[in-house]
Amino acid sequence: MVSPAALVRTLIVAALAAVLAFAPAHAQQVVTITTTTVTWTYTDDSDGDDAGYIDEDIALLDGEALAEEADFAAARRYAPSSALATLGHAKARFGPFAVIDGATVRMAGDVTAATPRQFAAMLAAYPGLKRLEMVDCPGSLDEEANLILARAIRRQGMETVVPAGGSIRSGAVELWLAGTTRRAAPDAEFGVHSWADEYGREANDYPASDPVHAEYLGYYREMGMDAAKARAFYTLTNATPFDDVRYLTRDDMARFVALD
């Protein structure tokens, strides 16, 4: 015989299950970043129609990497901002991207596992986009997704721009490097620091011979740095701990890559 207390518990569980089953897919996901004591809130505005635009690289993120994002089990570069800049009027929004016109998109916000899919959906809707203005970009909560997005920016042949008053930090600097043409206002700021893995270990905690370093060095070479500059830039970024930020100027970045 079922006791009244057990019956009540059963009804409560059933009611909660029903609520969760019909919760909207775009409900907010709130993640607390314990390493920086900052609370980050992300709302996915996508309607699910972008599935057909996901290439093979992006598809790799749909399973394991999405689970990794929830518990920060992937290497990451992230330097939070107190407040994101206003992107102004937009024709359409895709995650951190705001389409301004047929050629220009502005970016403000983090890169997550969802961002490459949002970028692909945006290009499907606006294939003529060629200018990416990076207004206020703290970095990446998923470094694998960040590098996938960076290579997608390069494949699109986009110009990357940090406008007047713009600030890009951490993994967002990798995105800016992906531009086939790179521009930056005189007061643009570039924040760099070491990456950290899921165990809190940073780049300098790994031996110089560890293959983990090759991924970043290879990426910098892919984006146009020679071997010496790639290693110098990688060393510079890792000289600052993950929980701190070193700010570089436009002229500092011009030591490593060409700017227009």
- The amino acid present at 164, given as its one-letter code, is A
Please check whether residue 240 is in contact with residue 192, taking contact to mean a CB–CB distance below 8 angstroms.
Answer: yes
Nearest residue to 108 (alpha-carbon basis) of 127, 94, 121, 122: 94
Q: pTM value?
A: 0.71
CATH node for 44-254: 3.90.226
**Alpha-helical regions (H) of 126-226:** 143-155, 171-177, 212-222
Q: Each residue's pLDDT tens digit in the chain (260 positions)?
A: 444 444 444 444 344 344 333 333 333 333 222 222 222 233 334 343 433 333 445 444 444 433 333 333 346 677 766 455 566 688 999 999 999 999 999 999 999 999 999 999 999 999 999 999 999 999 999 999 999 999 999 999 999 999 999 999 999 999 999 999 999 999 999 999 999 988 999 999 999 999 999 999 999 999 999 999 999 999 999 999 999 999 999 999 999 999 98
Q: Hey, where are the domains in the chain?
A: 44-254
CA distance 179 to 196: 25
For 189, the token pair is: 């700021």
73-to-155, 197, 256 alpha-carbon distances in Å: 28, 7, 30
